[in-house]
Amino acid sequence: MQVSQADSPCRLLLRASADCRLLSISGFLFSLLLAPLSVIPAHAQDTGTAATEFYGKGTAVRITIRDPSGQPISSSAIVKLFRGTIPAGQGETNNGRAELVVFDLGEFTVVVNAAGYASAQQDFYINAAGETAVDVSLHALSGNASNVAGRPVLAPKAKKAVSEAFEALGADNLAQAQKHASEAVRLAPGHPDVLYLQGIIFLKQRDWSKAQDVFEKATQEDPSHAGAFSALGMTLCDEGKYEAAVEPLEKALQFNPAATSWDTRWALAKAYYHLARYDQALQMSEAALASSNGKAPEIQLLVAQSLTAVGRYDDAARQLREFLRNHSDRHEAATARRWLEGLAANGKIHRN
């Protein structure tokens, strides 16, 4: 079985459609690009006061950051919200609290960085519009706060431009996104979050070379930017540069395992497969399928490919039959049937 080149990490990532192709891991990280984003990055409310706004179908995520004593921290913290690997909002705390608004349901991760504390994250689930409260506890670092691997902080105007650009991408308004991105570049041309935004816009425009260039710059400016490493790895996969893709994808998982969940693992599994690292491809594709929680059932075909590559033909057939049983209406079903028939024709399995 061969992995299709038609749909790649960045293309699926750009397509964000339930009709994504099995072997196009491009739908992951940037389920963001060829169709409206499932999560609209919200403007951060940099106050901790009780909200009186009406959020319509959105959900106000009220985040409280606590110090080791359990009290809201007095110092400032940067709060980032992710849906999978897709940025869904960013804000700065006031008196240990921040508020972000999202317009989708499902699993989210909040990531918190504050000087003097270890980076922390908390997974949570939104199942209804309205309000959701999230508490994150920080652990103090030993030694001076200068030991913290601090990230550059965007000035308020630049941060607003970045947020508005992501919101425009979420509304599938590329022209508006470019307008806000240009303002962000003018205000903070070398900031890693601005470079990351530029890269996503280049992916939207299918300009893989420029996307790769700015993602590389983002990782140089912020060597712990999990999103930029993940995006860089997926871009390299899209270009068929599988060997080069492995390191940034592995780093993305190392730096932020939760915020770089199933989509990054799917891309890495594909890279491993193309490099004939089949045991690793199997392990990573199984992890991607499990953590995707049904969002990308086509990952199961990559699991079947990897099982076939390591000689576990009956297990591969079981995966293919399960896919056909549960997803016979998807176009990938034709591929699954062809592979199943091929296993039988080659004497690897018994026909049912």
Write down the pLDDT at residue 260. 52
The number of angstroms, rounded, from the C-alpha of 274 to the middle of its chain's C-alpha atoms is 22
What Rg do the C-alpha atoms of the chain give, in angstroms? Answer: 21
Q: What percent of the chain has pLDDT over 70?
A: 78
Dihedral pair phi/psi, residue 282, rounded to 5°: -65, -50
**Considering the chain, what is the average pLDDT of its residues?**
79
Domain boundaries, the chain: 1-37+224-352, 59-147
List, in sequence order, every residue forming a beta bridge with 113; answer none if it has no partner: 78
- Residue 189 and residue 224: Cα distance in Å, rounded? 19
Q: CB–CB of 82/109 below 8 Å? A: yes
Write down the pLDDT at residue 69. 65
Superfamily of domain 59-147, CATH level 4: Carboxypeptidase-like, regulatory domain (2.60.40.1120)
Write down the pLDDT at residue 294. 85
CA atoms within 13 A on the CB side of 233: 31
Residue 201 has pLDDT above 90, yes or no: yes
CATH class of the region 1-37+224-352: mainly alpha
Please tell me the pTM assigned to this model.
0.62
In the block, tokens 């000035």 appear at: 155
Q: What is the pLDDT of residues 22-42, one digit of tens each?
A: 333 344 344 444 333 333 333
Q: What is the pLDDT of residues 264-283, one digit of tens each?
A: 999 999 999 999 999 999 99
Q: What is the pLDDT of residues 180-197, one digit of tens each?
A: 999 999 999 999 999 999
Higher pLDDT, 322 or 86: 322
Write down the pLDDT at residue 257. 65
Q: Which of 214, 151, 226, 227 is nearest to 185 (CA)?
A: 214
The number of angstroms, rounded, from the C-alpha of 347 to the middle of its chain's C-alpha atoms is 40
- Residue 198 and residue 119: Cα distance in Å, rounded? 25
Section 137-146 average pLDDT:
55
Q: Which of 42, 65, 193 is nearest to 126 (CA)?
A: 42
